[in-house]
Amino acid sequence: MYVFNQIGIKLPHIALKQSNLEGINKSLNEAAPGDLIFFGSRNENSHYTVHAGIVHSVYEEDIEVIHCVSVGVCIDERNSRWEYYWKDKVLFVKTLLGLFEINYQARN
């Protein structure tokens, strides 16, 4: 939320509401820098989002995610909490290109 706010895009404070914003949902292997990434649980009909981050960078199959956890803001990557905890909790990745376009048009 903080990062997007710095470029004039207001996101809801709650990860669940962010995950329901209009955008393009995609799988982890389709992630690109700047995409939002959502974590939580799902059943066959819905999902429950508990945490969100931003895809920082992608190198082939390796991904770095910036997010705020109990120790503060961090970048998780291979051989970190990402591999051992967060990666298994990924629900989906979302591109919010429409918000960027709306924000750009409003400023120009």
Q: What is the pLDDT of residues 42-71, one digit of tens each?
A: 888 888 999 999 999 888 778 888 888 777
Mean pLDDT of 67-88: 75
Its pTM stands at: 0.80
d(CA 67, CA 87): 13
The mean of the pLDDT values for the chain is 82
Query: Please, which residues have CB within 8 angstroms of residue 52's CB and are 6 or more apart in sequence?
Result: 15, 18, 19, 36, 37, 38, 39, 67
- Domains located in the chain, CATH noted: 2-107 (3.90.1720.10)
For residue 105, pLDDT over 50 is answered with no
CA angle 78–31–29, rounded 5-degree value: 70
Alpha-carbon span 4 to 60, nearest angstrom: 25
Which helix or strand (DSSP H or E) is residue 9 part of? none
Find which of 19-33, 63-77, 94-108 is predicted with most confidence, using mean pLDDT. 19-33
